[in-house]
Amino acid sequence: MGEPTTINEMYKLLQGDNQKQTELLTGKILKSENNIKLQIKKSNQKLEILKENQIVLERKIRRNNIIFFGFKSANQRTLIQDVIAKLNDIFSLKIILTDINNIYRLGKGDDAPVLIEFISFLKKSEIFENPEKLRSLKNTQYAISNDLCEEDRKTQKILRKHLKQAKEENKVAKIRGLRLEINNTLYTVEELEQLSESETEASSSDESDSSQTTEQGQKIHNSRQNKNKRKNKKSPGGVKTRSNKKKKH
């Protein structure tokens, strides 16, 4: 086959070469994009794993801790001894100095919450083994809570919101760790949010159906009224009404 001799033939060859180069370049770009997306996905997965590991580590560090609210003490030097004495008094325990790793306030002021680090989880658990003593704190200035990491604090906040909602609906509900028990069934935060979303969608659907039904009913009512008006405009038997004024002769 000879070389192209006309301009049209040369143009077609150039056009074919350009198309091939464009397809080749497009393929390389798509391949590069896919590689970048894959790298981003892997990086995100690694970040999620690191985040989960950090949460696990924080939970382990805070596992033996409690936070004591409402305890006032002007003397910082005797804070540790004063806190131990108060806990023993409230919970009828025998905590001694060697059971404690550290005690300090989380902030300034003599009424800031006190963080108590126990040496062992078993010793810390003695605080929560007497539910009656814990309930009795509700009528006092004091309160006790676990030392939660930020992620768990967010979870607890969401659980308390759903706990309040469940009780308003007269359901038997209680927070157990990082889950909410409703009528003897345990739910995670994710499950509670999904249930709430489903109920909202169902409610919106019912309202939409109700609105459509009301609108249709209103249209029927208006149609009937218009028919009655048209009937009333017609005189019965074609009888004409007389004027009260007398005609002048």
Residuewise pLDDT in 10s, the chain (249 residues): 555 557 676 666 667 677 777 777 788 888 888 889 999 999 999 999 998 999 999 999 999 999 999 998 878 888 999 999 999 999 999 999 999 999 999 988 888 999 999 999 999 999 988 888 888 888 889 999 999 999 999 999 999 999 999 999 999 999 888 899 999 899 999 999 888 888 777 666 655 555 555 566 566 556 656 655 665 555 444 444 444 444 444
From residue 149, alpha-carbon distances to 61, 146, 152, 158, 219 in Å are 10, 10, 5, 15, 58
pTM over 0.75: no
Same domain, 129 and 192: no
- Is residue 10, in this structure, part of any structural domain at all? no
Domain end call among 91, 112, 147: 147
Does 123 share its domain with 74? yes
Residues 140 and 158 placed together within one structural domain of the fold: no
Is 1 a domain residue? no
Domain interval for residue 76: 64-147
Please tell me whether residues 33 and 43 are part of one structural domain. yes
- For residue 242, being part of any structural domain is answered with no
**68 shares its domain with 133:** yes
Residues 118, 62: contact at Cβ < 8 Å? no
Contacts of 120 (CB under 8 A, 6+ apart): 64, 99
Closest CA to 144 of 171, 118, 181: 118
On whether both 169 and 212 belong to a single domain, the answer is yes
Are the CB atoms for 145 and 67 separated by under 8 Å?
yes
Beta-bridge mates of residue 68: 114, 144
DSSP tag of 177: T
Instruction: Answer whether residue 248 is part of any domain.
Output: no
Q: Is 166 within 8 Å of 184 (Cβ atoms)? A: no
E-strand ranges in 20-171 read: 65-69, 100-105, 114-118, 143-146
pLDDT in tens, 55-113: 999 999 999 999 999 998 878 888 999 999 999 999 999 999 999 999 999 988 888 99
For the chain, what is the domain count? 3
